[in-house]
Structure 1
Amino acid sequence: MNRSQRYTNAQLAQFVVANGGDITEGYICLLRKGRRANPTLQTVQDLAAALEVSPAVFVGGREERLGDEQPRRSFPDKLRRLFRVAHPSDRGPYTPEEVARSISSDGRYGSISSSYIRELLNPPPQPLPNPRLKHLLGLADHFNLADDDGPQAVYFLDDHLAARIDAELDDYAALRDAGVLEFVTRMAEYAPQWSPHRRRQAIDSISHALESGDSTWRFPCKKGDAQ
């Protein structure tokens, strides 16, 4: 299939069906005219395969389709990881009820029920979970995967980008579990009231602990310090 060529709705539907997908000429027409704007995850993947582009292009991601484009990690696996790791330092993981309320609250991403989120997290063997695009956007927004261009639903459609985000999530979780995020938050609350000298002491103490690995700490008071 030549991506530089324009295809009719009927031709594109034929390509999808030939690749094992299921889509009609009429539905493609509605998508192109903007009269349907909430396709399912499977529809996005089927259209991408037929057009020989990355599924991520439909949510502002890369267009180039790589050789190993077929998803290596399932949608439920990615969603379970977000639930497990992406939560603030002052609380445990979000519940499906909390996520459902967050997504449904202002209507931007439609509505979603907690029972459906539970089904997405732990689906039956068949059929595979097939959430709609607005739900992908809502989940990405809730778990703070957004960037300057909007919610990063690309996480669910691009395994290469997802791997980088997962590495960042691992770093975040390690800092959170070590109490670093809570410590930094408290520092930010008090630092504006400190003198430049006290700030230098704090920085020196933190740097010493990180570089030396010394778990013992005492106040670094020297002559002339307590002035």
Structure 2
Amino acid sequence: MSSSTSDMPSRRATLAERLTSLMDTRHPDGTGPGNADEVAARSREIAARSGGPTVSHQTVHNIRLSKVSNPGLDTLAALAGVFSVTVGFLLGETDTPPAPRSARDRPQAPAVASVAPSATTLAARLNHLFAVVHPRTRGPYTDAEIARAVTDRGGDLSADSIAALRNGGWDDPTSKQLRSLAEVFGVPVAFFFDDAVASKVSDDLTLLNAFKEAGARRVALRTVAELDEEALTALVPVIEHLNRAGKRQRM
């Protein structure tokens, strides 16, 4: 019996492998940057035209060699802009980059698909998590409590660093630090830099809190019993997310 590679479990590609693939295929349209110098130059072009961070050729080279596996958010944002992919793709949130455009459909300037948030946005989103993700029987967690939770999971963030993120004094955490925060609060890391993900997660957290305040078990059982099959199917992913968020709130 024959089998295809699609039937086999796949290992999630590393940042080095994803970057190498983008450069080898000259993403996004077959004429994208193919070496470290071209990537750095393209990032400077985009920054000059639209603002935003840049990346050096040495950093690109080190990422490809896996000498740098935990770059800052600014570096990831610059790479995302150069290749018209999302930061989430570079971090492994999704395995599929946007499809390359044909030469006929190619834009005159590469679009920045998903860039790092400003300090204000990052701070606002983190503060939102502090405000809503905590047990109903107590108030928000402190910076020190979240720092301990990050450390317990093998991360490296001090209470002072978290405070700096929350007040906008620091806006370039590493990908590992951002992922650690996301894990502690039970949200996808894309929450911090993707508007659509942030909106969806915020809606789910609001629903979760409403359930807790109203008496979740009573409301859920009565409501679910009245739903048809199509509505129940649509509710499954929401319930799965709420379950993860609820576990984080019992941290």
Give TM-score scaled by structure 1 length: 0.68
RMSD: 2.9
Is the contact made by 1:39 and 1:133 (CA closer than 8 Å) also made in structure 2? Answer: yes
Shift in Å, 1:22: 3.0
Shift in Å, 1:91: 2.5
Partner of 2:208: 172
The answer for unaligned runs of 5 or more in structure 2 is 1-25, 48-52, 100-110, 227-251
Q: Deviations over 1:12-49 (max 9, x none)?
A: 01111222233211111111121111111111111101
Larger radius of gyration between Structure 1 and Structure 2: 1
Is the contact made by 2:70 and 2:174 (CA closer than 8 Å) also made in structure 1? Answer: yes
Partner of 2:16: none
Partner of 2:176: 134
Is the contact made by 2:73 and 2:174 (CA closer than 8 Å) also made in structure 1? Answer: yes
Whole-angstrom distance in 2 between the partners of 1:24 and 1:122? 28
2:36 aligned with 1:9 = yes
Whole-angstrom distance in 1 between the partners of 2:206 and 2:34? 43
Match of 1:57 among 89, 106, 120: 89
2:45 aligned with 1:18 = yes
Shift in Å, 1:59: 2.0
The answer for unaligned runs of 5 or more in structure 1 is 146-151, 185-201, 212-227
The letter for the 2-side match of 1:39 is P
The letter for the 1-side match of 2:147 is A
2:190 aligned with 1:163 = no
Residues 34 and 69 of structure 1: CA distance in aligned 2, closer, same or farther (over 3 Å): closer
Is the contact made by 1:60 and 1:154 (CA closer than 8 Å) also made in structure 2? Answer: no
Higher helix content, 1 or 2: 2
Shift in Å, 1:55: 1.6
Give TM-score scaled by structure 2 length: 0.62
Shift in Å, 1:67: 8.2
Whole-angstrom distance in 2 between the partners of 1:177 and 1:130? 36
